[in-house]
Structure formats: C-alpha cells, structure tokens
C-alpha cells in the first residue's frame, strides 16, 4: 500500500500547462528516482508531494501518522541565529537533538555558524542535516548533491543507503541515482511513467518508449494524409461528403495538435581552433601557499595534446588554484610552469561570475555587437544559435539574472563553445545541467580534437570523459592516477577523501632513490655543439612550420576550392599534413633538448 500518492495532477503556470495528469506513488521504504528534463516540472511535483503547493485539480493522499521531510534546491535559513537552531527547528518532540548536532559535525559544521554568512555548499549541508535528523518516513530530496564535494556526496550516499526512510530523489548525478534507486518515475510532457527498476535500467527503457511513440505518431500522420486525400479527391466525394468521416478527420487533426512533443535537444558543437603544439603544459615541482597554508606542494605534471585531465578533491582543497597554475593564470611560489605553443584556451568558470545579471541573453552571446554570433568560422543569427541550446526566441532580451540555474549553465556553454579553442578548461561544467544535456556534453568532449582540463564532482561524468585524474592527497599534496574517477578510487582504496598523512607512493619512492654513477655522469654531461645549435634554431623552424600550417588551413577553409580545383585542394591538404608532422617532430626534439639543458644547469645531484 502506498503511504503517499498523487493522482491525476493538473497544474498550469502562466497559461501553459505544466502537469497534465501526473501521478506519483511512494511505498514504505521505497527508493524512487524522479527524472526528466530541466523545466519538465520535477521540483514542482516534489513540492506537491510535500504539500507545499496545491494543484489545480487532482488528489494527494498521505497515510495518517506518516512523516515527510523535503529538501529544496535553495534552502532558506533566514530567521535563525545559528545553524543548529535551524536544524533543531525541524525536529519533532520525540526526535534526538544530539543527532542534529552529530549530523552537522559530520557535514563539517559546528552548529554555531550564522546562517546569513554561509556559502552555498554550507547552506546545503545545513539543510541536509535538517532533513535527515528526524529520520522521517519519507525523504523528498531535490538535487541533494548540489554544491557538495565528492567526500560529502559519498558520505550522503552511505547515509541514505542505510536509512529506513522512503526516498524520492531528483538529481543529475547518475552514479548517485544508480546506487540508491530501485524504481524510476519519468516526468515528460506533463505526465509520469513508472519503471519498477532502478535508474541504471531507465535510459534503455526510455529510448524504447520514445521510439514506440514516434512510430505511433508517424502512423497518425499517415492516416491524416489518407483522409485528406479522400476529402479532396473527385467531384463525387466533394458533393457527397461523409460527415462522420469528416468529423473523424477533424478529431485526428485535434489529436495531432494536442500531442505535446518534447522540446528539441541541445546541439553542442565546438568551434575548433588551430592545432596546438604537442606539449600543452608542463609543471615542474610547483608549490603555492595562501596565508602560510600550502595548497599545492612539489607537484609535477605534463599535459600533452589530446589529454583529458580530471581534477578532484574536497571543497577548499585547491582545485581551481591548480587549474590556474597549470594554465599560467597564477604564478607558482616555487617551481616553474611551461605552456606549449599555439594555445587557444576557453574557460568555463563554476560560479558563472563572468555573466552580468543585468545583461540580456542575446548580448552575452554576441558581445553586444549586432545580431550574429560566429561559430566555427561561420556567422549565425543569434536566435538560431539560441535554439541549439533550448532557448526560445522570446528569451532573447531576458536578463541573465532572471534565468534558472540550468539555463545559466546552458548559456555559459553556448558562449564558451562558440569560441575557437584547442584547450577547454571546465570548472564544474555539469552544475544544474539535465541528464540529456550531460550526455551531449560528454559526446562533444569525446569528439573534441583538443585538450580538456576538467574539475567535477560528478563521478559518472569523470569516468566517461577523463583519461587521467589528479586527486588531492591533503596538505597541498596532489597525485595523478591513470583513468577516471573509479580507476582512481580503486588505486587509492578510499575514494576522494584526503589522506591524513603523507605516504610515499611507489612511483615517488622510486623517484627518490639515488642515481647510479652512470646515470649521474650522463646527466652532468652538457649539450654537444650540434645539440646547442639545434636548440637555438628549432624555435624559428617551428614558427615557420606554424605559418605554413596557417596558410594551408586558410586555403582549405575555402568551401568552393575542391569543386573548383581538386588538385589544389589535394596539394593544400598534403602540405598541411606534412607541416603538422614536421612541427610535431621538431617540437619533440626541442622538448628533449630543453629538458636535457635544464638538467645540466641544475648541476650534479647531491
């Protein structure tokens, strides 16, 4: 028997139906994932289940004596002196106040913090403690992982897995939903469909349902076409129209009109820049501290063209600082960072700080210059480009401050992806994006010809995208692991949590061993005359090859070249290929010689 259900729920906002017969059923101890696109009404349905808003029509039933707690996306802590006061206000007469304090402590809060001074992540932790503390019969959680770092997400997952409460979860975190859900409710086009299996099996089922609906729609279209043909053929048919058949045709047309179709899909495509050098960035023994606290300590890394580097760690570990060091935005206190040649970097910042809340959407995309945006070298009308990211034409003059979190996320992507690049630096790009958009972003990054540096708390997204993971080890120490998040967690054995003490890894221990006499002697030998000459001449050679590559690329950019002169097209393509190969070889030689020169100048090992 359900302990909570919604039946035949209808709700309209601003003249547009949002829910048209939606239903939701929650049984004791159930684990239900509520999924759907941004704007489909998931949060509204959860508020209806919590009894916070009333539908235009429909029924809500809550079994007597059943307790419900709801976690909103944006908790309001106003009116409370401390975080503990806020959490304790959600407790019932028989609930344990000590549990409230213990949950706050586990979530990194003391209980004495002033709510008006909390960050977004701290406010979310406090609201989580308030929802979890009473151990209710039903927990309704709207994006519970938003603003949480990976250790907090992993802790919350274990806490919910061991809870006796029934769960209804809205989240864009696939791994979170897969690990916790046992049933899935899909909200689409105002109605819900239920799958009595977890989220891990949802997407194949959803695709099958959508395919069946498209077939049914196609059959309806053909039937209307046949009826239209009957209506217009021959004089006899026009004189002796069958009124019943005519009424049936009108009914078919009405059915076609009333079938609400899903909004389009986001069309993600990057504007490719010039090919970068083989080396993108090299950090050698870099360190950075703030106020005496080490954020990065003695860290070395080489990023090469085509790498996909993920950076993970708790909030405050220094992930953004590490990105800024690797990209040359921030100088290290010690050590050196060398950037490669011909880099065209595009950055997506996690806080959307570069978006002016007062600027209209269209001006953000065009930079306030006209009504076109240049994408992949082609001018496009800004309204058409907006549609690729699911913005309606009437939103063109909407101020950024009036957009939802998901819309701001799509706007940042739209602006970033329009710029030519060969290095994408993405700081929490998955925030507020729905699952379909995350899929498309993942596919775009898989096809991206350049290099990607990515910070994310989304474990599934990291596994799908990155080829190496830099993880915070605590105390400013960072270690690099081959593979995605799951590979890193397997090698570490403790997920994303920072380690309390420094334990030398095998590779570090091996690197710390003294050199043998032969290797030390070879390292002390300086460059030969021939090597010195090559080191001086190679930069000029690489510049000349880059100029040759640009000339060939300019020739190939002519859309009519192949049709007009196929031989010239082949010559340009061949010249570009040879120049790229020669440039890669020259750069490899220069890097080897430069490293040898630096090792020589460091002097003999001590």
Question: Would you list the DSSP string of 33-95?
Answer: EEE--TTSSHHHHHHHHHTSS--SEEEEEE-TT--EEEE-SS---TT-SSHHHHHHTT--TTS
End-to-end CA distance of the chain: give it in Å, rounded.
75
**Per-residue confidence at 119, pLDDT binned at 50, 70, 90?**
confident
Ranking 109-123, 225-239, 374-388, 496-510 by mean pLDDT, the lowest is 496-510
Is there a contact between 143 and 171 (Cβ–Cβ < 8 Å)?
Answer: yes
**Per-residue confidence at 503, pLDDT binned at 50, 70, 90?**
very low
pLDDT confidence of residue 513: 40
Tell me the three-class secondary structure of 347-379, residue by residue.
Answer: EECCCCCCCCCCCEHHHHHHCCCCCEEEECCEE
Q: How far apart are CA 155 and CA 128, in angstroms?
A: 12
pLDDT (tens digit, 9 = 90+) per residue, 444-475?
Answer: 788 788 899 999 889 998 988 898 999 999 89
The highest-confidence range among 193-202, 344-353, 402-411, by mean pLDDT, is 193-202
Q: How far apart are CA 250 and CA 421, in angstroms?
A: 53
pLDDT confidence of residue 161: 94
pLDDT confidence of residue 605: 39
Residue 2: burial class (beta carbons within 10 Å; 0-12, 13-18, 19+): middle
Ranking 279-293, 311-325, 375-389, 586-600 by mean pLDDT, the lowest is 586-600
SS3 313: coil
Does residue 100 surpass a pLDDT of 50?
Answer: yes
pLDDT confidence of residue 330: 92
**Per-residue confidence at 565, pLDDT binned at 50, 70, 90?**
confident
Does residue 267 surpass a pLDDT of 60?
Answer: no
**Per-residue confidence at 84, pLDDT binned at 50, 70, 90?**
very high
Does residue 255 surpass a pLDDT of 70?
Answer: no
Ranking 226-240, 304-318, 467-481, 566-580 by mean pLDDT, the lowest is 226-240
Pairing of strands 2-13, 57-62: antiparallel
Q: How far apart are CA 114 and CA 535, in angstroms?
A: 60
Mean pLDDT of 346-361: 74
Pairing of strands 271-272, 191-195: unpaired
pLDDT confidence of residue 252: 54
Does residue 403 surpass a pLDDT of 50?
Answer: yes
Mean pLDDT of the chain: 81
Token pair belonging to 344: 């065209």
pLDDT confidence of residue 517: 41
pLDDT confidence of residue 283: 93
Which residue shows structure tokens 């606290």? 293
Residue 599: burial class (beta carbons within 10 Å; 0-12, 13-18, 19+): middle
Ranking 20-29, 349-358, 386-395, 594-603 by mean pLDDT, the lowest is 594-603
Where is pLDDT greater, at 519 or 39? 39
The highest-confidence range among 465-479, 540-554, 576-590, by mean pLDDT, is 465-479
pLDDT confidence of residue 59: 95
For the beta sheet containing 345-348, the strands, ordered from the edge strand earlier in sequence to the opposite edge, are: 345-348, 423-427, 451-455, 308-312, 468-474, 477-482
pLDDT (tens digit, 9 = 90+) per residue, 406-438?
Answer: 777 778 878 877 778 889 898 888 877 778 778
Where is pLDDT greater, at 235 or 250? 250
Where is pLDDT greater, at 460 or 257? 460
Token pair belonging to 391: 């913005």
Segments in 115-200 forming alpha helices (H): 120-132, 150-161, 174-180
For the CA atoms of 514, 517, 522, 523, what is the dihedral angle to 10 degrees?
30
Does residue 350 surpass a pLDDT of 70?
Answer: no
Is there a contact between 129 and 69 (Cβ–Cβ < 8 Å)?
Answer: no
Smallest CA-to-CA distance from 44 within 65, 85, 16 is with 16
Q: What is the pTM for the complete model shown?
A: 0.67
Q: φ, ψ for residue 385 (rounded to 5)?
A: -70, -40
Token pair belonging to 267: 């069309």
Q: How far apart are CA 38 and CA 458, in angstroms?
A: 18
Residues 340, 467, 485, CA angle at the centre, nearest 5°? 130
Ranking 54-68, 233-247, 294-308 by mean pLDDT, the lowest is 233-247
Does residue 58 surpass a pLDDT of 90?
Answer: yes
Token pair belonging to 233: 């053929």
Ranking 139-148, 202-211, 304-313, 438-447 by mean pLDDT, the lowest is 438-447
Report which secondary-structure segment, H or E, holds 286. strand 279-290
pLDDT (tens digit, 9 = 90+) per residue, 161-196?
Answer: 999 999 999 998 999 999 999 999 999 889 999 999
């Amino acid at each position: 028997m359900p302990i909570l259900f919604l039946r035949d729920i209808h709700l309209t906002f601003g003249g547009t139906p949002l829910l048209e017969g939606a239903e939701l059923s929650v049984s004791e101890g159930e684990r239900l994932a509520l999924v759907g696109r941004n704007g489909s009404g998931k949060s509204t349905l959860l508020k209806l289940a919590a009894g916070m808003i009333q539908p235009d029509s429909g029924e809500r039933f809550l079994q007597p004596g059943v307790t419900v707690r709801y976690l909103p996306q944006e908790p309001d802590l106003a009116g409370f002196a401390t975080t503990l006061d806020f959490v304790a206000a959600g407790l019932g007469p028989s609930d344990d106040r000590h549990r409230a304090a213990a949950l706050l402590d586990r979530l990194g809060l003391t209980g004495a913090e002033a709510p008006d001074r909390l960050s977004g992540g701290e406010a979310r932790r406090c609201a989580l403690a308030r929802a979890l503390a009473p151990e209710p019969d039903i927990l309704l959680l709207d994006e519970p992982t938003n603003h949480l770092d990976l250790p907090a997400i992993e802790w919350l997952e274990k806490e919910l897995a061991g809870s006796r409460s029934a769960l209804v979860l809205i989240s864009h975190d696939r791994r979170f939903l897969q690990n916790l859900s046992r049933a899935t409710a899909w909200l689409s086009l105002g109605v819900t469909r239920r799958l009595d299996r977890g989220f891990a099996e949802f997407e194949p089922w959803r695709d099958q349902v959508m395919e069946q609906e498209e077939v049914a729609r196609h059959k309806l279209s053909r039937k209307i076409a046949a009826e239209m043909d009957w209506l217009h053929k021959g004089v006899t048919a026009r004189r002796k129209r069958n009124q019943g058949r005519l009424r049936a045709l009108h009914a078919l047309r009405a059915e076609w009109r009333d079938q609400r179709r899903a909004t389009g899909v986001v069309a993600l495509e990057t504007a490719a820049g010039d090919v970068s050098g083989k080396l993108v960035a090299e950090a050698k023994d870099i360190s950075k501290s703030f106020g005496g606290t080490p954020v990065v300590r003695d860290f070395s890394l080489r990023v090469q063209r085509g790498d996909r580097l993920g950076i993970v760690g708790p909030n405050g570990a220094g992930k953004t600082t590490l990105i800024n060091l690797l990209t040359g935005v921030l100088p290290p206190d010690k050590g050196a960072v060398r950037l490669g040649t011909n880099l065209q970097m595009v950055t997506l910042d996690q806080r959307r700080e570069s978006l002016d809340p007062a600027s209209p959407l269209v001006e953000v995309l065009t930079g306030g210059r006209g009504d076109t945006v240049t994408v992949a070298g082609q001018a496009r009308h800004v309204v058409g480009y907006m549609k690729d990211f699911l913005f309606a034409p009437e939103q063109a003059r909407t101020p950024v401050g009036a957009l939802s979190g998901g819309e701001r996320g799509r706007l940042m992507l739209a602006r970033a992806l329009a710029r030519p690049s060969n290095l994408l630096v993405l700081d929490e790009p998955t925030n507020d994006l729905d699952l379909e958009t995350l899929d498309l972003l993942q596919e775009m990054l898989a096809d991206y010809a350049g290099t990607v540096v990515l910070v994310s708390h989304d474990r599934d997204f990291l596994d799908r995208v990155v080829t190496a993971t830099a993880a915070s080890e605590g105390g400013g120490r960072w270690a690099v692991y081959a593979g995605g998040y799951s590979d890193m967690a397997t090698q570490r054995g403790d997920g994303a949590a920072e380690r309390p003490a420094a334990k030398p890894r095998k590779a570090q221990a091996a690197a710390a061993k003294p050199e043998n006499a032969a290797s030390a002697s070879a390292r002390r030998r300086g460059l030969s005359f021939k090597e010195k000459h090559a080191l001086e001449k190679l930069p000029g050679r690489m510049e000349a090859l880059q100029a040759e590559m640009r000339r060939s690329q300019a020739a190939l950019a002519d859309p009519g070249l192949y049709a007009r002169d196929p031989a010239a097209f082949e010559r340009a393509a061949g010249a570009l290929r040879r120049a790229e190969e020669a440039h890669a070889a020259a750069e490899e030689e220069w890097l080897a010689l430069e490293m040898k020169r630096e090792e020589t100048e460091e002097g003999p090992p001590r």
